[in-house]
Amino acid sequence: MERMKAASLPTLCLLALLAGCTPTVDGPKETRVAGETLPFRLTSEVARRATEGAPARFEEVERDVRHMLSKRLHRTPENLLKRAQYLDLLGRVYAEQGEYADAEAAYRDAVDTLRATPGASPEVLANALVQLAGVFYRLGDFAHASEAYAEAIALEEVRLGKDHDDLLGLLSIRAGLELKLGRPVEAEGLLRRELDTITRTRGLERREAASVLDNLAEALSQQDRKPEAAELRQKAREIRHKLCDEC
């Protein structure tokens, strides 16, 4: 699925994090740990079956996750993080079934919960934003998808550094969304940033640089800057020709 391609937490890792969680229940003033166990075992086997696409398995996972989400928890950082993890899992279940409106609601709630969690991992928040952006894309809501990617890019730039491959991929995706939205100026800025990073860190004569040049040419064409666009397309052809000759 498209929404899962950017920097993401693998489903198995998420399920492993959830294994053995014991949410707290409301108490007078102190936090009390619930004595009941989880209604299902979050093991690798359950994780595998949950992604096989069997409707009955989806219904089972959804039922049990919703049961845990229905519990009234103290708003401690630990419980907020648990809630976000359950919501992320619920979003994945809906997305696997193509129920993108429900997936959007789950991922939105997960993102909001992570934002409200003191000390929440920027990586986990960025991942949730990427999942949400992917759902927006499938719903044709390119504006909100671009906004979610923008926030994820800001988080990942701090965490990974501006030259990281994952960041370049997010820049490329967001630039494509800006082109779909008819915002070529914004797309140009993102693509020039991507091209500059590739040139500085790897050199211009690379296949990924040729792809960025073609996309940048499209952004310039949409601004009626045809001569500049033609030059960039020619440069992209030259790079590909040279790389082919060197094969």
C-alpha–C-alpha distance, residues 94 and 101, integer Å: 9
Q: What is the pLDDT of residue 246?
A: 53
Q: Please, what is the Cα angle at 8 between 49 and 199, to 5 degrees?
A: 145
C-alpha–C-alpha distance, residues 239 and 247, integer Å: 13
Q: Please, what is the Cα angle at 35 between 32 and 77, to 5 degrees?
A: 45
Q: How many CB atoms lie within 10 A of CB 59?
A: 12
C-alpha–C-alpha distance, residues 229 and 208, integer Å: 17
pLDDT string in tens for the chain (247-residue length):
444 444 443 343 433 333 333 333 233 233 233 333 333 344 444 455 555 655 566 777 777 777 777 776 677 888 888 888 888 888 988 888 889 999 999 999 999 999 999 999 999 999 999 999 999 999 999 999 999 999 999 999 999 998 888 899 999 999 999 999 999 999 999 999 999 999 998 888 889 899 999 999 999 999 999 999 999 999 999 999 888 765 5
C-alpha–C-alpha distance, residues 123 and 126, integer Å: 5
Q: What is the pLDDT of residue 18?
A: 37
C-alpha–C-alpha distance, residues 213 and 204, integer Å: 10
Same fold, 1-140 and 161-247: yes
Backbone torsions φ then ψ of 161, nearest 5 degrees: 95, 150
Class of domain 1-140: mainly alpha
Which of 128, 192, 132, 180 has its CA nearest to residue 156?
128
Evaluate if pTM is beyond 0.85. Answer: no
Q: What is the pLDDT of residue 49?
A: 54
Annotated domain spans of the chain? 1-140, 161-247
Q: What is the pLDDT of residue 133?
A: 97
Out of 3.40.1400.10, 3.40.50.2300, 3.40.50.1970, 1.25.40.10, the CATH code matching 161-247 is 1.25.40.10
